[in-house]
Amino acid sequence: MTNLEDKNSLDRDRRLNELFANAPEISMAVEPPSRGKFYKNYKGINVTPLLFEDEQRILLARSSDIDPVDEIITKCVHGVDVKDLLSMDKIYLLLKIKEVSYGPEYKFSVVCPACKISSDITINVSKHININYFPEELEDPREITLPVLKAKVKVRFPRNYEAHYMANWEDSYTNTYRFVLSINGDSDPVFISKALKRMHIRDRKVILSEITKSDLGVDPKFQFNCVHCNHDTVMGVPFTASFFSVS
């Protein structure tokens, strides 16, 4: 690069800095469903909006092995390591990134289960989606007593870097042993894996329910009243790719 090119580049950078000198710095302090109690050195979380270049980089990441959701969180969430996130907090933080980047309104379509006609819905993600926060007494790891076997089982929450172990129903049951730390004080993973296979289905479901705690975090349900047939029901908000776009 020549001296003239260096000078032009520096001058261009100066003009860009002047252009954005008075641009507002947007940052939203948030409290995740877990209240951050299971993160090391936790001092709070702040969420900043996506920039245009970030959105383009994330769109390109969809065609690679990079997880675009993790890319979004890494760019916009400050105060916690994305790999350590609990699933409940991860979904909540995505809602907040949407809110601070594109505004709180989310428009989508749902098909009425009664008349099968599609309806357009608009919700405010900061007002119409309920958040179930962790109770203060909840610990991680924690010990539960099984209803049938009466054994004491110590379990823990999966972290984001382990999310692939819980990707679907089959994976969740296959990998349950990874999140069971001990059974009646025995922490041998082979013993735990074999014990889980011999358990009553009620005990297995209790363990999986305790590991996932699906009742905590973002509650995506909303009351739907069909304008076409007046059918009234509870439906789930579809968090599709269009969630991260301007409504």
Residue 55 lies in a domain: yes
pLDDT of residue 240: 63
pLDDT of residue 230: 94
Residues in the chain, pLDDT under 70: 1-5, 57-58, 61-66, 240-247
Q: Which domain holds residue 225?
A: 3-132+218-243
pLDDT of residue 70: 85
25 and 79 part of one domain? yes
117 and 155 part of one domain? no
Residue 201 lies in a domain: yes
Residue 187 lies in a domain: yes
pLDDT of residue 160: 95
pLDDT tens digit sequence for 163-177 = 999 988 899 999 999
178 and 110 part of one domain? no
90 and 108 part of one domain? yes
| Exposed / middle / buried, residue 201 (Cβ in 10 Å: 0-12, 13-18, 19+) | exposed
107 and 164 part of one domain? no
Residue 231 lies in a domain: yes
Residue 186 lies in a domain: yes
pLDDT of residue 131: 94
Residue 137 lies in a domain: no
pLDDT of residue 172: 92
| CB distance 212 to 172 below 8 Å | yes
- If we measure between CA atoms, which residue out of 219, 208, 133, 121 comes closest to residue 173? 208
177 and 117 part of one domain? no
Q: Is the sign of the CA dihedral 34, 40, 46, 52 positive or negative?
A: negative
13 and 99 part of one domain? yes
198 and 230 part of one domain? no
106 and 148 part of one domain? no
pLDDT of residue 38: 95
- If we measure between CA atoms, which residue out of 238, 205, 196, 199 comes closest to residue 221? 238
pLDDT tens digit sequence for 187-216 = 999 999 999 999 999 999 999 999 999 999
228 and 202 part of one domain? no
Q: Indicate the angle between helix axes 87-102 and 68-76, nearest 10 degrees.
A: 70
How many folded domains does the chain comprise? 2
162 and 183 part of one domain? yes
Q: What is the spatial distance between Cα 216 and Cα 193, in angstroms, rounded to a whole number?
A: 26
Residue 163 lies in a domain: yes
7 and 37 part of one domain? yes
Residue 75 lies in a domain: yes
